[in-house]
A and B are shown apart, each in its own frame.
Chain A
């Protein structure tokens, strides 16, 4: 078979050894390999065209958009309240944090201050969501790399929190619990009790995950020194969250632009050194401990009080009143169907979700619907660095890199 392709390169096997002279000259050429869109390790429908030299990646081109549903276009057609359930479907693993980021953006646009208790409730649930997100990430990344046991342990503990969400708002994944100006409902005593039990139960389980992985030579071999990105490149690519902090950049919106109840809590932001997959894993593990700390502090500091800001022109009336009082029902109906009158202007509000900076850029021209709503999705921006981070590594490392971004295609393609 003749190789007339211009890209063909010719190697000789080991010219220093005389026996190799008897071997025929090896001809190699670059190979194009389609990975996905239906591949279990791509975390959704994602295709990457890999250009290979042997088993090394020379260039990779992500092909996105298989899950594009036009969420930004849909936002322009509905009122601000109506968009909250759409945010659940962005990053479906971490719906609570999407609700949170969106509600914060609208509150910034409407200049609403959320009452103290609501801020604490929001922070607690957001951190519970961060734990769920990191558990999901750890389980699937370990599974992708070949450490199957951790997956079961992570999902066993995640299930407790999923049931907790179910009790809180009636749904496990598509939660829609946050509301503009507050939250939908308060914790019941049973929820508080279950959360406290979980906080005692969980830290030893994190140690358990660590023991599984840190004694696993395959895990260490496949994460240490893989997919290294320098701090300078990571910043230039706009990476955020643990993916950025793994390279040693101290950027966490919870600290840098404090919001909600975070400024009242003491916690540290773990920073990596080498910028490899292992450091990003280590940061996420440490964040699990930090989340537990934040939730504990919030539970201690939280006082009784209203859970919704008192701005009747924007915020929804309490559910009990909607069912018993005609005016409240009319108010609820009008807020959902016509919306509130937003002032003309534009804002950007970023929130530190567990994947990175999830931001909403809203342009309003007045009226009940956003004129333009842009979602800054961390997964999408991380995919921009995929080619840079994968060059020179093996095909199997491509799977590690999807995992290390904690990519969810619902958010990436929107």
Chain B
């Protein structure tokens, strides 16, 4: 099945949730609405002609100027059919939550935790949504957001350092 046919199949089955499909540099990107994301992902996983059994990564992109600020990106692969798809959805900052896909792909657990930790997007029905790379008591926000300065917000300046020269 070519990438174009793949995109058409999704559009036929989910005409309400389908936003657009883009093919660039051999990668197919399908954007869907947030409320249909879980259904479409389930379809991609279960439908024999799709057969996306492998989750590659979950990622997120911050577009501060857009109305729906965050973009959640999933990448799936089919080991038997050997095709790849990228599924994207947008979430606004005020209601930053999407359905978790941990019930479909077990590997989504850690990947979604990382997105939560880095970008602050929450996942509904996630079994264990805690920070994963940053410390549990980290309160400065979410480091990969574009409004987070590269040097941090001063948290590390609060650490006590031993003065080598004072000894």
CA distance in complex: A413, B132 (Å): 9
Nearest CB of B to A211, in Å: 35
Contacts A65-B132, A73-B144, A77-B150 known; A236 to B57 CB distance under 8 Å? no
Also in contact, A357 and B56, with CB within 8 A (given A236-B106, A237-B106, A388-B106): yes
- Chain B residues whose C-beta falls within 8 Å of the C-beta of A350 in the assembled complex: 56
Contact between A359 and B57, CB atoms less than 8 A apart? yes
Contact of B43 with A by CB under 8 A: no
In the complex, what distance in Å separates the CA atom of A153 from the CA atom of B53? Answer: 40
Per-residue interface assignment for chain B, residues 122 to 144, with 1 indicating a CB less than 8 Å from any chain A CB and 0 otherwise: 00000000011111000000011
A363 within 8 A of B: yes
- Considering only residues 1-53 of chain B, those with a C-beta below 8 Å from chain A are 24-25, 27, 29, 53
Chain B's nearest CB lies how many Å from the CB of A215?
A: 36
- Is B111 part of the binding interface, using a Cβ–Cβ cutoff of 8 Å? yes
A358-392 CB mask vs B (1 if < 8 Å, else 0) is: 01010100000001101010001101110010000
Complex Cα spacing A374 to B54, Å: 18
Interchain CB contact (< 8 A) of A238 among B24, B56, B84, B143? B56
Indicate if B99 sits at the interface (CB-CB under 8 A). no
A residues within 8 A CB of B106?
233, 236-237, 384-385, 388
Cross-chain contact B53 with A236 (CB below 8 angstroms): yes
- Please give me the residue from chain B that is nearest to A381 by CB atom: B107
The docked-state distance in angstroms from the alpha carbon of A238 to that of B58 is: 11
**A345 at the binding interface (Cβ < 8 Å):** yes
- Mask: chain A, 248-265; 1 = CB below 8 Å from B; 0 = not: 011100001100000000
The answer on a CB contact under 8 Å between B110 and A381 is yes
A18 to B159, CA, bound (A): 62
Q: Is B167 an interface residue (CB 8 A)?
A: no
Q: Which residues does chain B contribute within 8 Å of A30, judged by CB atoms?
A: none
On chain A, the residues within 8 Å of B62 by CB distance are 372
B109 interface residue, CB < 8 Å from A? yes
A233 to B105 CA separation, bound complex (whole angstroms)? 9
Most A CB contacts (10 A, CB to CB) among B24, B56, B62, B105 go to B56
Please tell me if B68 contacts chain A, counting CB pairs below 8 Å: no
Q: How far is the CA of A388 from the CA of B107 in the complex (A)?
A: 11
Chain A: interface secondary structure? mixed
Report the minimum CB–CB distance from B20 to chain A (whole Å): 14
Tell whether A290 is near chain B: CB-to-CB under 8 Å: no
Instruction: Provide the bound-state CA to CA distance between A233 and B144, in Å.
Output: 31
Provide the residues of chain B in CB contact with A346, threshold 8 Å.
24, 27, 29, 86
0 or 1 for each of B54-81: is its CB under 8 Å from A? (1 = yes): 1111010110000000000101000100
A374-B115 Cα distance, complex, nearest whole Å? 11
A347 near B56 with CB under 8 A, answer no
- A68 touching B134 in the complex, CB below 8 Å, given contacts A77-B150, A236-B53: yes
Q: Find out whether the CB atom of A256 lies under 8 angstroms from the CB atom of B82.
A: yes
What separation, in Å, do the CA atoms of A65 and B143 have in the docked complex? 13
Q: Give residues in A with beta carbon < 8 Å to B.
A: 64-65, 68, 70, 72-74, 76-77, 108-109, 111, 233, 235-239, 249-251, 256-257, 345-348, 350, 357, 359, 361, 363, 371-372, 374, 376, 380-381, 383-385, 388, 413-414
- Additional 8 contacts, C-beta under 8 A, given A65-B133, A236-B55, A238-B107: A65-B134, A235-B53, A257-B82, A374-B57, A374-B59, A384-B106, A385-B107, A388-B106
